[in-house]
Chain A
Amino acid sequence: GAVVSQHPSWVICKSGTSVKIECRSLDFQATTMFWYRQFPKQSLMLMATSNEGSKATYEQGVEKDKFLINHASLTLSTLTVTSAHPEDSSFYICSATEVNIQYFGAGPRPSV
């Protein structure tokens, strides 16, 4: 199957700083990527749909100014958690779609 990579795989940051997470499709081009958040023992929560060359589509309740998404190329989307606080500590996972199948990257876990 297709390969999706996330970097970094683990992040520790100070409260108030920003964290940038990269999601790359390694062997295919992805016009659409998805960003999910997952708390321990809970399901995936879709945060936003990242569209190459245009603005991301955010799910209801997700703060656009808090979670900045940029999809600058067909193989790279970035999520920036701005002014991170302890409650932002979570598992952030990206996915990209190839032939209508979502493939997930290994999600980093920001710890504030």
Chain B
Amino acid sequence: QKEVEQNSGPLSVPEGAIASLNCTYSDRGSQSFFWYRQYSGKSPELIMFIYSNGDKEDGRFTAQLNKASQYVSLLIRDSQPSDSATYLCAATTGGFKTIFGAGTRLFVKA
């Protein structure tokens, strides 16, 4: 069973701090990795994707991938209350099937 694991949280950080969200995956054949943000009652929206080992930065967001450790993370700098949401990690296998984690709930306290 190919899986994507996330800590369900909730993760609580003060406004302005760095929020660190982590994800591990079991399928070594996974090639693409995604982070989605989902507000309550809304559909997931894509934040970032990463294919290669290392860091990828986009504004306040940084995705990190370590294929040897089968580990993906998302850092949110200068966290804002509007960042409070559930963050879904996803991995696409070699067969192009996308597996989603259960999500981590993030609360940013003003």
Which residues of A does B touch, CB under 8 Å? Answer: 1, 6, 34, 42-44, 91, 93, 97, 100-107, 109
Contact = CB atoms under 8 A, between A and B. Distances in A.
B100 A101 contact: no
Given A102-B90, A104-B44, A105-B43, A43 B49 contact: no
Given A93-B43, A97-B96, A103-B46, 17 more contacts: A6-B43, A34-B98, A42-B102, A43-B88, A43-B103, A44-B88, A93-B44, A100-B32, A101-B46, A101-B49, A102-B34, A102-B90, A102-B98, A104-B45, A105-B43, A106-B42, A109-B41
B43 A104 contact: yes
B80 interface: no
A6 B34 CA distance: 22
Nearest to A106: B43
A104 to B, nearest CB: 4
A93 B34 CA distance: 17
Per DSSP, chain B at the interface is: strand
Per DSSP, chain A at the interface is: strand
Contacts of A6: 43
Nearest to B45: A104
B6 to A, nearest CB: 9
Nearest to B100: A44
A43 B101 CA distance: 7
23 contacts: A1-B46, A6-B43, A43-B100, A43-B102, A44-B44, A93-B44, A97-B96, A100-B32, A100-B92, A100-B96, A101-B32, A101-B46, A101-B49, A102-B34, A102-B46, A103-B46, A104-B36, A104-B43, A104-B44, A105-B43, A106-B42, A106-B43, A109-B41
Interface in B41-88: 41-46, 49, 88
Contacts of A44: 44, 88, 100
B58 to A, nearest CB: 12
Given A43-B88, A100-B92, A102-B90, A107 B102 contact: no
